Homo-oligomer: A and B are copies of this chain.
């Protein structure tokens, strides 16, 4: 079970809702993925419209917990304001702090992320900050009380997978709250790798919505995350420089 704040989930996949070819494909991908947590940018919500936000119109809202993010915020104050809008919408079980510090790389601003996390925790939110893989920064976020840490594997939407497994491992080893690898996952093996490093979950969007067949990729990701988690629990073999026969050498006499 993945426990974040007061929530418990069977699935360790947190899925984004953006950039699908259409809402039917989105709906199918979400269902096939068996995710229990949907994430989206608050700025995409049609807040002042009485009807459901368009981009969730096909989604059965009763079945999911929502993790809106503060994308668009340039500093902590904006992030808090966005979080409150999300909260007012009723679709905010948890909040993902996303304060981008660089438009080209979409990498997060460590200082504003720390501040936003602190401010939102004081407001009583369940707070999951998206962060770089800076190991000490991750610990500071946890010390503030963040309910999970979400280090990026590589830049958002880049599909480059896990560039620095060492930092992720350090972050995972030091953490007492869940570590959710967020951003950069490109394919199922990336997701499995994150889980094998000991991550508690994976958040992804583009890898599914941007695949040629998003529904099939959603299923692939579901299985990969299960596979990676089981692999982590099962305890993989060590890496050896040289080879090791899988059969004992004795008994060879039969062929001589």
Are A243 and B213 interface neighbours, CB within 8 A? no
Q: Is A57 in contact with chain B by the CB < 8 A criterion? A: no
Q: How many chain A residues touch B (Cβ–Cβ < 8 Å)?
A: 101
Are B206 and A247 interface neighbours, CB within 8 A? no
Enumerate A80-126 residues with CB–CB distance to B below 8 Å.
81-82, 85, 101-102, 104-111, 114
Q: Is A27 in contact with chain B by the CB < 8 A criterion? A: no
Are B18 and A247 interface neighbours, CB within 8 A? yes
Which chain B residues lie closer than 8 Å to A110 at the CB level?
110-111, 134, 136-137, 140
Partner of A239, one of B132, B174, B186, B247: B186
Are A106 and B245 interface neighbours, CB within 8 A? yes
Are B19 and A160 interface neighbours, CB within 8 A? no
Supplied contacts A186-B239, A188-B231, A189-B192, 15 more A-B pairs, CB within 8 Å: A18-B248, A44-B248, A72-B255, A81-B255, A101-B135, A104-B243, A110-B111, A156-B243, A157-B240, A159-B239, A188-B227, A205-B246, A211-B237, A217-B234, A222-B227
